[in-house]
Copies of this chain bind each other. A is one copy, B any other.
Amino acid sequence: MKQETIDRIRAFSEDRDWDQFHSPENLAKSIVIEAAELLECFQWSGTEYDAEHVKEELADVMVYTQNLLDKLGLDPDEIVNKKMDQNERKYPIEKAKGSAAKYDQL
């Protein structure tokens, strides 16, 4: 996301004095709640879904994710790259290619 989008997310909460509700725990709850609303778009079918609704729910996940990054003072690139280091070790290309198996079953 661009800096101005991030700034808008931050201003939205600040203007409403919502930082008091944004404990890490509450934001973790919020992310899973929105992720389940996203999943609801695909509850009965993986192929027929309301594309606009998907965008809205995915955006909600992203907003709360940004709130949690902010709350914990995390750098998104740092935590994602660190996790990708792990993923690359857990799923070596020669073993994982074309397989949906979990790393402990490769």
Q: Which residues of A contact B (CB under 8 A)?
A: 1-2, 5, 8-9, 12, 15-18, 20-21, 23-26, 28-33, 35-47, 49, 51, 54-56, 58-63, 65, 68-69, 72, 74, 76-77, 79-84, 86-88, 91, 93, 96-100
7 additional A-B residue pairs with CB within 8 Å, beyond A15-B97, A16-B97: A8-B81, A12-B84, A16-B96, A29-B39, A55-B83, A59-B79, A59-B83
B residues in contact with A25, CB < 8 Å: 42, 46-47, 49
Query: How many identical subunits does the complex contain?
Result: 4
Q: Which residues of B contact A43 (CB under 8 A)?
A: 26, 29-30, 33, 100
Once A54-B72, A63-B80 are accepted as A-B contacts, the answer to whether A33 and B24 lie under 8 Å apart by CB is no
Q: Are B5 and A28 in contact (CB under 8 A)?
A: no
With a CB–CB cut-off of 8 A, which chain B residues contact A37? 33, 36
A88 near B33 with CB under 8 A, answer: no
Chain B residues with CB under 8 Å of A60's CB are 83
Q: Which B residues lie within 8 Å of A83 (CB)?
A: 55-56, 59-60, 63
